[in-house]
Amino acid sequence: MSIKVFSTGLPAIPLRSAANIFEEKYGVKVEITAGQVEQWLPNVLAGEGDIVCVGAEYMMDDLQEEHKLIIPDTRVTVGYRRSVIMVRKGNPKGIRGIEDLANRDDVKLLVCRGACQRGLWDDVASKAMVTDKIRRKIVMYGVGCLDTYQKWLKSKDYVDAAIVWNVYGVIWPKDLDVIELPRELQVYRSTNVAVLKSTKNESIARKFVEFLRTDDIKDVYRRFGWILPSC
């Protein structure tokens, strides 16, 4: 017995750990295909797969409402990610917060314009009411978490900071440091999963979704930096 999950990039990291535990416990193999939604959506539209996992609710909204692909009552949140400022290892520019991003002439920014981080920089900058200043500092755009991270690695000479998710600092600690934002500037987004209407194994797919909400798997997500409520 096996099930197949299509997932966006970073959410697939804790998901793989959870899948391994599920397989050991129940003898059900969980195959995970990770990438941007646009990469695997044709497969799902063709009837492939049992579960989808994405990094923002608006992404699942599209799968549910535009494409009619998921079973709505199976849709659940498995954790949250929080906005932070990413800086070079050791913070050579001495960046302290959003004010430095907005006001310092020597700070250049990378932001993400797609997937689960779409509009994240806008949300943070708008909370601080420094959107015009932040926009002028943007010199590079990523599309999705993995693409943003890859661009970060390739731009050491001309990008100083980025507005990203807190989990970057947990997953790639050797390549960056994280500056926390004050609570009033923090943005959270839900990582969520749902069972596909096309599944041939609905009972097993539902069981895996429920498994992702158990205490042991919550600890897996916390270990990778996801935030979960204590109750």
Give me the phi and psi of 183, to 5 degrees please: -55, -40
Contact in structure between 208 and 30 (CB atoms under 8 Å): yes
Tens-place pLDDT, residues 21-41 = 999 999 999 999 999 999 999
Give the pLDDT band of residue 19 (cuts 50, 70, 90): very high
What is the model's pLDDT at position 229?
A: 77
What is the model's pLDDT at position 38?
A: 96
The position carrying tokens 């020597």 is 106
Give the pLDDT band of residue 177 (cuts 50, 70, 90): very high
| Amino acid of residue 141 | Y
The answer regarding whether domain 81-185 maps to CATH 3.40.50.40 reads no
CA atoms of 23 and 90, how far apart (whole Å)? 40
In order, the DSSP letters of 143-195 are SSHHHHHHHHHHTTTT--EEEEETHHHHH-TTS-EEEEPPGGG--EEEEEEEE
Contact in structure between 225 and 79 (CB atoms under 8 Å): no
Contact in structure between 192 and 57 (CB atoms under 8 Å): yes
How is the chain split into domains, by residue range?
2-79+190-223, 81-185
Rounded to an integer, the average pLDDT of 192-216 is 98
Rounded to an integer, the average pLDDT of 154-169 is 98
pLDDT at 230 over 90: no
What is the model's pLDDT at position 95?
A: 99
Rounded to an integer, the average pLDDT of 166-181 is 98
Question: Which two three-digit tokens encode residue 53?
Answer: 């996992």
What is the model's pLDDT at position 33?
A: 98
Give the pLDDT band of residue 231 (cuts 50, 70, 90): low
Contact in structure between 113 and 141 (CB atoms under 8 Å): yes
CATH number at 2-79+190-223: 3.40.190.10
| Element housing 81 (H / E) | strand 76-87
pLDDT at 203 over 60: yes
Phi-psi region of 226 (alpha: psi -120 to 50; beta: other; left: phi over 0): beta
Tens-place pLDDT, residues 74-107 = 999 999 999 999 999 999 999 999 999 999 999 9
Q: Do domains 2-79+190-223 and 81-185 have the same CATH topology?
A: yes
pTM passes above 0.85:
yes
